[in-house]
Amino acid sequence: MEQIDALQSRNEVINLRQVSSQELLKNQKELLIIHNGQLYHLRETRNGKLILTK
């Protein structure tokens, strides 16, 4: 049963829409996102990691 659940989860992830960070940031290091009326800040660190803060 666990194998079936794992396969279903993997298929759900494959079917999710994917967007590259380069497409989101468009050669910038920071992006502001409005979600449910709240402002979030997505930024890329010097090490190439992403940080999302409110």
pLDDT (mean) for 9-21: 78
| Domain enclosing residue 31, as ranges | 19-54
What tokens were used for 26? Answer: 């468009």
Question: At 28, phi and psi to the nearest 5?
Answer: -105, 165
Report the pLDDT value the prediction gives residue 17, as an integer from 0 to 100: 87
Question: Quick one: 44 exposed, middle or buried, by C-beta within 10 A (0-12, 13-18, 19+)?
Answer: middle
Higher per-residue pLDDT: 16 or 7: 16
Residue 14 resides in a domain: no
Residue 8 resides in a domain: no
23-43 pLDDT, tens digit per residue, is: 999 999 999 999 999 999 999
Residue 25 resides in a domain: yes
Residue 33 resides in a domain: yes
pLDDT (mean) for 2-23: 73
Report the pLDDT value the prediction gives residue 14, as an integer from 0 to 100: 75
Angle at 41 between CA 37 and CA 44, to 5 degrees: 155
Question: Which segments within 1-54 are labelled E, that is strand?
Answer: 30-35, 38-44, 50-53
Number of domains in the chain: 1
